[in-house]
């Protein structure tokens, strides 16, 4: 996965950006029944990316961020009779552990994001043959009920949770499947997702000496994933 995350202020200026390549692994199972197919999938990605931003005082700051992403997904495919294409819907829960590393005398920061995504779209076949398939999927998605938990215990402010703003995005995926025999195949995919989180609520907190207000800014995420899969049909 190529990971690209950007936070912006109320004027649209970049506050920080995190980019890099993160390896991952997915396991999925599906059950077709007539024109309907139900699928579940669990994925995990983990690795460091580059952080380029600035401190609370406005000074430039570069470090790395340890990223861990968990995703649990349910998918429903509906293939109407007498048509080559299909419609799909997805519902998936995600957790993103964001561990910004300390560097250059600046403390690190650990945050946990959790949210739901609901997605719907169409599947268009370019090639649909006995031994190979080429499919394009296009969908719209919406984030829902997102939260961020931030750990400020090192500064005496404790741990706090903010509510992320709901927002929308889109998804595009190209899948090429090579069918070796009736029950085995390989699939190669290229998936791009883009979505936004709206600005969170604000919370005023204290460590007994200082009083500060914390807010999670607007953000945009673009994830581009190249995948290779082995599929076995029972």
Q: Answer yes or no: is pLDDT of 82 > 90.
A: no
Looking at per-residue pLDDT, the higher value among 27 and 57 belongs to 27
Is residue 194 within 8 Å of 168, Cβ to Cβ? no
Banded pLDDT at 186 (limits 50, 70, 90) = very high
State the pTM of this model. 0.94
Measured in residues, the chain has a length of: 234
Give buried/exposed letters for 24-34 (b at 16+ CB in 10 A, else e): eeeeeeeeeee
Q: Which residue has the higher pLDDT, 187 or 128?
A: 187
pLDDT band at 27 (very low <50, low <70, confident <90, very high): very high
**Res 182: pLDDT:** 76
Q: How far apart are the C-alpha atoms of 152 and 228, rounded to whole Å?
A: 39
> Which residues contact residue 32 at a Cβ distance below 8 angstroms, ignoring those fewer than 6 apart?
none
Residue 156's contacts (CB-CB under 8 Å, 6 or more residues apart) are 207, 208, 209
Domains and CATH numbers, the chain: 2-232 (2.40.128.100)
Mean pLDDT of 177-188: 92
DSSP string, 32-84: EETTEEEEEEEEEEEEEEEEEEE-TTS-EEEEEEEEEEEEEEEEEEE--TT-S
Alpha carbon distance 168, 31 (integer Å):
29
Helix (H) / strand (E) element for 5: namely: strand 2-8
> Taking the C-alpha atoms of 199, 202, 206 and 210 in order, what is their torsion angle to the nearest 10 degrees?
70
Q: What share of the chain in percent tops pLDDT 90?
A: 90
What average pLDDT does the segment 213-228 reach? 97
Q: Has residue 2 got a pLDDT over 80?
A: yes
């Amino acid at each position: 996965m190529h990971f690209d995350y950007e936070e912006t202020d109320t004027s649209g200026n970049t506050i920080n950006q995190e980019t890099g390549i993160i390896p991952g692994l997915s396991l999925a199972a599906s059950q077709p029944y007539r024109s309907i197919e139900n699928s579940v999938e669990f994925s995990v990605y983990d690795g460091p990316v580059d952080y380029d931003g600035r401190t609370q005082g406005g000074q430039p700051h570069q470090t790395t961020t340890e990223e861990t992403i968990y995703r649990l997904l349910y998918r429903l495919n509906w293939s109407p009779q007498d048509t080559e294409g299909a419609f799909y819907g997805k519902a998936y829960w995600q957790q993103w552990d964001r561990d910004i590393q300390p560097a250059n005398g600046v403390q690190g920061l650990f945050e946990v994001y959790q949210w739901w995504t609901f997605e719907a779209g169409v599947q268009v076949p370019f090639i649909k043959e006995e031994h190979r398939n080429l499919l394009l999927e296009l969908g719209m998605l919406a984030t829902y009920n997102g939260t961020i938990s931030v750990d400020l215990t090192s500064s005496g402010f404790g741990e706090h949770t903010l509510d992320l703003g709901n927002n929308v995005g889109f998804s595009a995926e190209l899948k090429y499947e090579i069918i070796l025999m009736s029950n085995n195949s390989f699939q190669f995919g290229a998936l791009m997702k883009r979505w936004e989180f709206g600005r969170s609520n604000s919370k005023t907190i204290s460590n007994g000496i200082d009083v500060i207000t914390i807010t999670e800014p607007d953000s945009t995420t673009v994830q581009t994933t190249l995948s290779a899969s082995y599929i076995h049909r029972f």
